[in-house]
Structure 1
Amino acid sequence: MTEQVPTRELYDLARRVGLEAAAYVRSARPAGRVDVASTKSSDTDVVTEIDEACERLIRERIFAARPDDGFVGEEGDDVIGSTGVDWVVDPIDGTVNFVYGIPMYAVSIAARHDGEIVVGHVVNIASGAEWGAVAGEGAWCHEGDDRRVLAAPTVARLSHALVATGFNYVPEVRAKQAAAMARFIPQVRDIRRIGSAALDLCALAEGQFDAYVEQGLKPWDLAAGGLVAREAGIVLSGLDGGPDERLVMGAHPAIAEEYFALVRACGF
């Protein structure tokens, strides 16, 4: 698959556009809280004008370089391309953090070929930290002009696992997730709720977390960060197959089977 498309070229484009988009958001964000332009799944699931402008910037740059590709973005209409390559983009993953000024929000850009993610790039807008991956070629953290290869560390025991998670913005769904979490949390070290799925998955690849669970992720939430995690050695799964909107679980192979069984048993 990856031999049929210029993955290095796609990655370079994703990174170049991602860094420009992150610089735009940093310069455009005012001091204090950011005004909300609209909402999505509930009145607490927000969109800002800067989200929308950032996605327009990303679209323009990608189509200037590759006008026949497709595009799937959080804030705009999908574009069907003719090359087999689609760009899956979240202009600001962690918008609520962005609104409040919590420095954990990211630009996430991935390219998929014939439905499979082949490159991904994530940049923390506030800090400038960035991660990347190419399918079959590994994952890394950029450190200036250098790359530090990521290999998720082994976890000794599930009971000592620090788990990243998130919660849905729809109150009824959130209530069910809270009940499942109440059963789950006594059986692990602790949980962390950062507020950006892309950054959670990159942190999992780094070893800052031992495992991950979340429901309700859209393709743009999962695409780039999910590839970084997988290429670092993390196993990702859904409830009864691959990771999807219903459920995303991630863990090191040493505990993956046991961890996935625990998540299912808790009722996520």
Structure 2
Amino acid sequence: MPSKHFLTACSALALLVALPSTPAMADPGYGDSPDLALRSCQHLYAMGVRRSGVYFLKPDGAQALTTYCDMETQGGGWAMVYNSVLGINTTDFWNIPYGDRLGRRGRPSLDSNFYEGSLYLYRRTEYVDAVKYMDVIEDLRGKTVILFTAQVGGFATSTMRFQGPQLLSGQPEIYREQFATGWAAPDHDGDIHSTTECSSYFANVTQHYGACWVYNLGADAGNEPEDGRVGPHLNSTVASALGLATDGTTYTRVRRITRFVRW
């Protein structure tokens, strides 16, 4: 005759088998479609998204757009504002008129040129104490470094300048010349150089300029700024100081320059 303990164990097993199985919690797929878009990459991160890639966002709560989200670097939650990659006619891509300064062009990925000017608009959410930016560069051998991180208090859409910028970490010279400074397009001289129109002089590349630049999304700073219209470029002395490879020229070509924002 089976023991009492054996019968009890069999009864418990039968009860478990009879209970309906509970389905696994389905992944809602935040950011995978316009209907599942959240406000920012930081919102996606807060909801458990950890894979870097292209997602749908609704920064203004209404119109969905796509951008690349870096979910790994510096705590994750970074949205790609622009990306300049080494290739033919890179310089042409960055000829962005003043009237298109808040527009969009290109495809959001780490291996293609991309610009989403609307992401400069100031948005602070419950997930951050301040809007923060991060500039990243990858050299010709594939080494990637963070150039700087910064926070801002706002953004002026008419001048394209940051309000109340503060350097948090990284390279002060690049921060000063390519972030906390002026902005210029071929038809808008908004840089801080006293005599040179930086964008017009440097192959009509639109970006933030000081007097004029340490990195450029397209142009060279040698005798021929166009440099075959292949860019982007970085001051080679700065590149060496950052431990990055150079091409042997004064302003080396690099594989990519990327700007991210987190709000």
Higher Rg: 2
Higher helix share: 1
Q: Which has the higher contact order (CA 8 A, sep 6+)?
A: 2
The TM-score bracket by the shorter chain reads under 0.3
In the superposition, the TM-score normalised over structure 2's length comes to 0.25
